[in-house]
Amino acid sequence: MLNELLEREFVFFDGAIGFLLQKRGLQPGQRPDIMNVTAPEVVEDIQRKYAEAGSEIIITNSLGANARALKGTGYTVEEIVGAAVGITKRAAGGKALTALDIGPIGEFIKPFGTLTFDESYALYKEQAIAGEAAGADLVAIETMSDLYEIKAAIRAVRENTRLPVFVMMTFDKSGRTFTGCRPESFAITAERLGAAALGINCSLAPGEIFPIAEKIVKSTSLPIIVKPNAGLPNSVTGVYDIGPEEFARQMAPYASLGVKIVGGCCGTTPEFIKELRQTFSGLKPAAVRRGGGLPICTSLQIENIENYQAEANKKVASPRESINDALEQSDNGSAVVTVTLPGSLDAGEAAHVIHSIQTQSDRPLILIADTADVLTAALHEIPGSPAIRCPGAGRQALTEIASKYGAVVI
């Protein structure tokens, strides 16, 4: 059904839910997702109104429903996620797909926070499995700001369920996320990790998001999602400063940009979706013109390696030699750093090499490894999208490794 939906000219998401739950009894400091159990009729009523307004994809009330965040509440991930999916499916009434909503864990992965990648992966895995078991049609990963956390979330969903993945980051007025991630880096990495659609939600109003969306459109061939806020809330009344008609007016230019999937985030309501549908009924989507080349990236830097000629493995015999060689390239001004990972390294040493390089250089990486085991250990540590080469692995095996870790084979 999702493939059929994406064949349409435009697809309509829903709008805010936490904002509306506050108007229906959610108190400051209370968890919105607990209302799936304590007040399911309230959640269902809000989501039913979105379905009636024309939303074709409705997200569940489960943004932060991970085991770490739910600890001490008396509820399990299975209980909250299961209830959330059931409510949304009832509210949709066959008119819309149910998207399991997954958001930031609440603590960043190292070095920005205290969590490890594997701990984050496990938390997302539990949510994804619970959502699929409850009958979700897809997963919507949203309001993300760390590319490494996105990697954990997408991999957790794709490696443990059959659910398609939509993924959205949130950007500030600088055009980057809180951790500094560039829109292009996000788009390149998410597509290579196997996302079905990607885009932007939250933080900004439609007009403010537009230049950021332009960069994403040029960096991916996937359907683009835009779910902005209704401006900013009044500090006294809490009312957002953009109404439904103005919101739809600011959203209209996204059709000519080639954006396919539209909706709203904080401050938006079913009335906003009605206006969006009415406005977009008279529009046609532009064809997306993706930029060429073969880009690789970190969160902060992007380089085109289309004409790169892979060099033979350098003679390095230890982790320290691999690190020093890579950092020397970076210090000498190389736009791309080639990291040689000899077969003499074990998995822990390969991970140490990459971690050490990334803490001292933000250049995109090309990994040349003797063995697949060493290569995968290194890739596990990389937030962005590197290039890889491995004489010791067959082409099919190397392609599978690249798909799992969001890399590109050279």
Q: Note the CATH number of domain 295-409.
A: 3.20.20.20
77 — phi, psi (to 5°)? -60, -45
Distance CA 200, CA 202 (A): 7
Residue 165's DSSP bridge partners are 139
**CB distance 261 to 10 below 8 Å:** yes
Fold match, 2-280 / 295-409: yes
| Domain ranges, ordered by start, for the chain | 2-280, 295-409
pLDDT digits (tens, 9 = 90+) for 239-264: 899 999 999 999 999 999 999 999 99
Which residues contribute to the annotated binding site?
202, 265-266
Binding-site residue positions for Zn(2+): 202, 265-266
Judged by DSSP in three states, 201 sits in: strand
Q: How many whole angstroms separate alpha carbon 232 and alpha carbon 227?
A: 14
pLDDT at position 233, please?
A: 87
Q: Work out the angle at residue 139's Cα, subtended by the Cα atoms of residues 264 and 62, and round it to the nearest 5 degrees.
A: 70
Given this model, what pLDDT does residue 51 score?
Answer: 98
The Cα 355–Cα 90 span in angstroms is: 46
Please give the distance of CA 403 from its chain centroid, rounded to a whole number: 16
Q: Which of 107, 91, 5, 100 is CA-nearest to residue 41?
A: 91
- Rounded CA separation 271/243 (Å): 9
**Are the C-beta atoms of 99 and 132 separated by less than 8 Å?**
no
Q: What is the DSSP string of 226-265?
A: EE---S-B-TTT--BS--HHHHHHHHTHHHHHT--EE---
Could you tell me the CA-to-CA distances from 127 to 23, 124, 306, 369 in Å, in that order? 27, 5, 38, 34
Report residue 147 as tokens. Answer: 């590319």
| Residue 74 Rama label (left phi>0; alpha psi -120 to 50; beta) | left
CATH of span 2-280:
3.20.20.330
pLDDT of res. 60:
98
For the chain, how far is it from start to end, CA to CA, in angstroms? 35
Asked if residue 105 lies in contact with residue 123, where contact means CB atoms within 8 angstroms, the answer is yes
Look at residue 216 and give its three-state secondary structure.
Answer: helix
What does the pLDDT read at residue 310?
Answer: 59
Give the chain's residues under pLDDT 50: none
How many residues are recorded in the chain?
A: 410
